[in-house]
Structure 1
Amino acid sequence: MFNKEEAKEVRIEFWQKLNNKTRRLPGQKGRKKFWIFDNTGIKGLDLRFDVDREKARVALEINHTKEGRRLQLFEKLEAAKTLFEAEFGEPLIWDFTYEKPTGEMVCRVYTECPGDILNKDLWPDMTYFLIDKMMKMEQAFLEVKDYLQSNLNE
């Protein structure tokens, strides 16, 4: 088992390796592809990786500070669920009351797989899952982005 400092170092190593792998994606030409807090062009809507001791997740997260705006975005996204999931290629988990470890409530559409960030033997499969699903999540988001932006009350 790892002590607190060792676990922190392993987590940092995981994220560094994942960042290095995103440099080698087709069409990147050596540039990193950042998805965490990626600028989606819609305030309060982000693409996220989430990895802990139990699972690896890829999510489209609606984390706007105003609950009304958050729910409005989620409802619009849910209205496009058929198109979104068709573009993604499989069913997703839709959660309008997802509680993050910090206690913050957000809306999330995500997929997950078993994993443990501290188990280096699982990293190759987790990394493949994260990159593959994020590419699909990004493509699905781009299909509905214009619709999500239309008629939003700021």
Structure 2
Amino acid sequence: MYTRAEITKTKTDFWTTFGQYMKPVPSAEGLKVNWQNYKTHVPQVFFRMKAERDFASIGIEINFKDLEMQELVFEQFQTFKKLLEGALGEEWQWSLHSTDDYGKVTSKIQKTLPNVNVMEQEDWSEIISFLKPRIIALDEFWSNVRPAFEGFL
């Protein structure tokens, strides 16, 4: 239905729009931040946002190759579960050691918005309205708990 070039251009346009929309929003610490490429400053711990043809999602990905280390970091997040859910105002899905689209074992804590399509520009406001408060809440949560994860460097 869509060519690869159309998908690439539309996704690039969406993320550019999202970035422009988020640009004036400072981090919880009052700093300028690149929201669409959020840096946790902890290796192998990422905040990921996706906008696809059938869903949008936001989450925390833990990608240590050492599965015991991945589990240890996941358990560390579990100790902060109430704080995370308090910042987000909702529960997220927790999955330890799932396999991604490339066969890589990863652990995730995420929320998904089904039935939206990044290829349909009329869905963009719904996707942005889903992602914006959650990435801001993740940043607020992270500014409070990041020191507990810096030992995993």
Distance 1:44 1:26, change over 3 A: closer
Going from structure 1 to structure 2, the CA distance change for 1:97 and 1:132 (only over 3 Å counts) comes to: same
Per the TM alignment, residue 26 of structure 1 is displaced from its structure 2 partner at its CA by: 5.2
Match status 1:141 vs 2:142 = yes
Alignment of 1:121-140 (within 5 A): 121-140=122-141
Q: Give secondary structure in 1 for the equivalent of 2:91.
A: coil
Corresponding residue SS for 2:106: strand
The equivalent of 2:119 in structure 1 is 118
Q: Shift of the alpha carbon at 1:136? A: 0.8
Gap regions ≥5 residues in structure 1: none
For residues 19 and 36 of structure 1, what CA distance do their matches in structure 2 show?
Answer: 6
Task: Tell whether the 8 Å contact from 1:35 to 1:49 is kept in structure 2 after alignment.
Answer: no
TM-score, structure 1 as length reference: 0.84
8 A contact 2:26–2:32 mirrored in 1:
no
Contact conserved, 2:55 with 2:112, CA < 8 A, in 1? yes
8 Å CA contact 2:45, 2:63 repeated in 1? yes
Name the % identity. 19
Unaligned segments of structure 2, at least 5 residues:
none
**Contact 2:23 2:34 (8 Å CA) reproduced:** no
Equivalent position of 1:7 in the other structure: 7
1 CA distance for matches of 2:46 and 2:93?
A: 16
CA distance in 2, matches of 1:51, 1:99: 19
RMSD of aligned C-alpha atoms?
2.3
Give the Å deviation of 1:40: 1.5
Superposed displacement of residue 144, structure 1: 2.3
TM-score (norm 2): 0.84
Residues 85, 140 of structure 1: 8 Å contact kept:
no
Q: What SS does the corresponding residue of 1:113 show, helix, strand or coil?
A: strand
1:52-131 alignment to 2 at 5 Å?
Answer: 52-114=52-114, 115-131=116-132
Which residue in the other structure is 1:22 paired with? 22
